[in-house]
Amino acid sequence: MTSEHGEDRRPSPDALLETARRETPGRLKIFLGAAPGVGKTFEMLSEARAAEAAGRDVVVGVVETHGRAETETLLKGLEILPRRPSAKGGRAFDEMDLDALIARRPELALVDELAHTNAEGSRHAKRWSDVEELLNEGIDVWTTLNIQHVESLNDIVAQITRIRVRETVPDSILDRADDIELIDITPGDLIARLNDGKIYLPKTAERATAHYFSQGNLTALRELALRRTAQRVDAQLVTHMRANAIAGPWAAGERVMVCVEDSAQAANLVRAAKRMADRLAAPWLAVHVEAPGGGRVSERARTASPRR
């Protein structure tokens, strides 16, 4: 159906499919923060207790308190699933028991620290893959994430903090989230929490203040968290408008293409293209270029680019 001005007013098929997909599996909520210590786990547990009081079936799959008394207090009274013992590098670890959680089938599972790397021998290498399986089983999941672990922002975070984060979560997980709640406090308040011993032990806190937790770093990370959350909200609005054929000021059809060769900068360029496409709300494409006479690149090198 078109309007009198020739505009197509039919719902977007892609938007309808996205809406239908969100209505079938479990729902994902991410508590996102700019840095450790902003209160993501605390807020997740506070809301979980309220949800349980309202009648929801809530189970703690895994929550890391890091010895924080306030967080440990909030865990009291919630059903906590026993962890699965595991060994890695000669040391013992307790990982979330994914099979037991699926068998328990709660309405809502709490899975802390989305970017966590599972111990060797686990079904999935990363915890975000565990979360995907829970969602596909129809279980709602609440989880926590710091902005430095978002894959497309890896290069920017390294430039800001001079620390390369190795544990990353693909942007597709954030795009899949039904809700992203930004847990935000000012850099000054976060540094005060650090100095009060509410995040790390005193010696660790002193090193953190001198390096990662500087006022400038925290301000920049906070801006990244605010921008990434705003991008997700904008994307949800556009999907809603397209699914319901609501007229609006649509983009003029921007496209982003990045051409890369087998070099050390290829991954950085792909991530930069992804960030640009996100800002423009535009589709993007990565093309691998082979120079004549340069030799063919191995299949492993071809597929080593970051996930979309």
pLDDT tens for residues 39-73? 999 999 999 999 999 999 999 999 998 888 889 99
Burial tier of 101 (Cβ tally within 10 Å: 0-12, 13-18, 19+): buried
**3-state SS class at 32:** strand
Domain presence at residue 148 = yes
- β-pair partners for 33: 146, 183
**pLDDT value for 21:** 53
- β-pair partners for 92: 87
Q: Look up the CATH number of the domain holding residue 144.
A: 3.40.50.300
Listed as ranges, residues in the chain with pLDDT below 70 are 1-24, 87-92, 201-203, 205-206, 209-210, 234-253, 291-308
**Pure H helices in the chain:** 13-23, 40-53, 69-75, 98-104, 127-136, 154-161, 171-176, 187-195, 202-210, 215-243, 266-280, 299-302
**pLDDT value for 187:** 92
Domain presence at residue 278 = yes
What is the pTM assigned to this prediction? 0.73
How does pLDDT run across 220-235, given as a tens digit for each residue? 999 999 988 888 776 6
- Buried/exposed code over 196-205 (b: 16+ C-beta within 10 A; e: otherwise): eeebbeeeeb
Domain presence at residue 18 = yes
Same structural domain, 96 and 170: yes
Same structural domain, 205 and 265: no
Q: Do 27 and 33 form a contact (C-beta atoms < 8 A)?
A: no
Amino acid at 212: Y
Question: For residue 194, what are the CA distances in angstroms to 6, 164, 210, 214, 279?
Answer: 59, 22, 12, 11, 33
Same structural domain, 170 and 265: no
What total of structural domains would you count in the chain? Answer: 2
How many CB atoms are closer than 10 A to CB 24?
9
How many CB atoms are closer than 10 A to CB 263?
9
Same structural domain, 193 and 264: no
150, 115, 107: which is closest to 131 by C-alpha? 115
Domain presence at residue 251 = no
Beta-strand relationship, 91-95 and 84-88:
antiparallel
Domain that holds residue 62: 13-243
